[in-house]
Amino acid sequence: MTRYATGRLVAVSVVALVLELTALDALSWGGGRPELVLAIACFAALFARDAVQSSVACWTLGLMKDLGSAGHLGWHALVYLLVGAFLVRVRLVIFRDHVVTQLAVGAAAAAAVALATAAFVSLTQGSLPAGVWAGRIVATTLLTALAAPMVMTALAEARFLRS
C-alpha cells in the first residue's frame, strides 16, 4: 500500500499545474486537455491514510488549480474535495492499483468535474451552447482517463513522496 506526504504531493502538483498551463495547453485536442492536477487529486484520495489526509490534499490541489485559472476562487477546491470524498468511500471496494480502475476513476472524475463546471459557468455567467462544452468535456475526459494511470503509477513508484 502506498502512503504519501501531503506537502510533497502538493509540490509535485505545482509542477503538474505549470506543465498543464504551458505545454499541455499547446497540445489541446478538441478544446480539451488532460487534467493532471485532477489525476493527482484522485491518487491522493485513493491512497490517503485516512479521510482527513484525502480532504486536505484534494482541497489544497483544487485551490491551487483555482489560483492557476481565471474562474471563481474556490470552485475547483470544492469540486476536488467532493470527488476525493467520494473516492475515499469507494476505495475499499475497488482494486485501486489496477490500470483499468485508474483509467475509469480518471474518466469519471474528469467527466464529473467538467459537467459540474459547465453547469456552474452556465448558471453564473449565462448559458453556453451544448456544442461548445460537450466536445470539451468528451476530449478532457478521454485525455484525463489516458493520463491518469500513468500519473498514478508514477506517483505510486516515487520514493520521495512516501511518508
Residues shown for the chain: 163
Query: If you ran DSSP here, which 8-state letter would residue 32 be given?
Result: B
What pLDDT does 109 receive?
Answer: 98
Percent of the chain with pLDDT over 70: 99
| pLDDT of 160 above 60 | yes
- In this prediction the pTM is 0.94
Nine cell digits for residue 152 = 498514478
- Which residue has cell 456552474? 120
* DSSP summary character for residue 29: B
* pLDDT of 1 strictly over 60: no
Which residue do the cell numbers 509535485 mark? 12
Average pLDDT over residues 2-13: 91
Q: Cα–Cα distances in Å, from 121 out to 115, 116, 117?
A: 10, 9, 6
- Cβ neighbours, 10 Å, residue 126: 7
Cell of 79: 469540486
Q: Taking the domains of the chain in order of start, what are their residue ranges?
A: 6-158
In a 3-state reduction of DSSP, which class is residue 49?
coil
pLDDT of residue 2: 67
Tell me what pLDDT residue 84 has: 97
For residue 130, pLDDT beyond 80: no
Query: Average pLDDT in the 93-110 region?
Result: 95
**pLDDT over threshold 80, residue 79:** yes
